Amino acid sequence: MKIILAYSGGLDTSVILTWLKQNYDAEIIAFCADIGQEEELDGLTEKALRTGAAKCIIEDLREEFARDFIFPMFQAGAIYEGQYLLGTSIARPLIAKRMVEIARAESAEAIAHGATGKGNDQVRFELTAAALAPELKMIAPWRVKKFRQQFPGRAEMIAFANENKIPVEATVSKPYSMDRNLLHISYESGVLEDPWFDASSPQMRDMYKLSVAPEDAPNDAEHVDLAFNAGNCVAVNGMSLSPLGVMQTLNKLGGRHGIGRVDIVENRFVGMKSRGVYETPGGAILHFAHRQMETLTMDREVMQLRDSLIPKYSTLVYDGFWFSPEREALQALVTETQRDVTGVVRLKLYKGNIIIAGRKSPKSLYDPQIATMEAVASTYDQGDATGFIRLNALRLKVRAALKTKGKGA
């Protein structure tokens, strides 16, 4: 039997690799998608082979991640529950998609993941596999009773790793987990499970990897210009960049100024609430700038229609339905709304804040000759507003009269 395992080299997936090999008498092919983990990938192939993998496949998917997943999602203005920029959520369908492709190329019967049975990632991996390759078997060790009995806690996993000479760097004293990619880093569990605990306190300073604390950011603001074409950022400060280049550049800029830290309690798809801390410096800048470009170039009714779909779109991404027909239908509408979202946005970054400093576009719907209070515009007669207001007030007057009549009775 061949199993494709989503592998990170951390404690959970390292233990799972050995456990799968022992319990399924299988050949394990470890797969790691390079989606921006940076130094976390160092020595990963050697570690996987030493742990018992027959093969370790590491593929650079960063450009595809930015181009085909992050950018379309940002065109939709997606933000889950008003705060979360979906950094982990949007990465899972890409990883699972590639796992399915590798499973077919390797003639594997199953794919496996180390997602907990209490979380969202299990759903994202498995819904993607169901949409793309329903014939593949899915193995989720955390939902196997035998596995949970063997590993009731982190201490047992560390002991198992030591007994089996599994090379992992993990301690019982540092239990919070971290997940990194091109869009963000998420932190959860351990001390962070207490929603009263201050994740911005000095004792947590070393936890953050992408950004400085806002109070430690430079005392001088920095300006940055983002150029958009059809809803996608194509240049930063006049330099043309690929989607990957945009994300890398904005991450550095945002991180330097303490941009994009979020501490939230969110609703998981499985029904419970969880507390997460996120760093999304580049994503926060991109989301803000994109919205500013839209305010100048999108028709009011089109914007309101698209905005009404943001909660639905965001929930689909969060819940793992990226490859669903409804998300694809929404994306087609989003693409249409973005045709004229073209121009340049200038921002000022200062101590955790993103401040608009200017916007311009050849597709601008803003006409100062109409909006100005200083002159008479031939296209707008202020007297026309009299009838406009009278018509809109009619139903209110009828209701008021009815209420007055009711009181008289």
Calculate the CA 82 to chain-centre distance.
13
CA distance 172 to 219: 39
CA distance 145 to 131: 26
Q: Give the alpha-carbon dihedral of 269, 272, 278, 282, to 10 degrees.
A: 20
- Six-digit token string for 72: 């379309």
- Catalytic pick among 121, 179, 319, 340: 121
Q: Residue for token digits 């210009």? A: 225
Task: Name the amino acid, one letter, at 163.
Answer: E
All residues at 6 or more sequence positions from 154 whose CB lies less than 8 Å from its CB, including other chains: 11, 170, 172, 175
- Catalytic pick among 67, 68, 143, 177: 177
Q: Give the alpha-carbon dihedral of 389, 392, 397, 399, to 10 degrees.
A: -160
299 has catalytic annotation: no
- Catalytic pick among 8, 12, 154, 319: 12
314 has catalytic annotation: no
Q: What number of H helices and E strands is found in the chain? A: 15, 14
CA distance 342 to 320: 30
177 has catalytic annotation: yes
Report the residue count for the chain.
Answer: 409
Coil/strand/helix, residue 362: coil
What DSSP string runs through 52-111? T-SEEEEEE-HHHHIIIIIHHHHHTT--BTTTB--HHHHHHHHHHHHHHHHHHHTT-SEE
- Catalytic pick among 62, 92, 275, 306: 92
- Six-digit token string for 166: 């599994």
12 has catalytic annotation: yes
- Active-site residue set: 12, 92, 121, 177
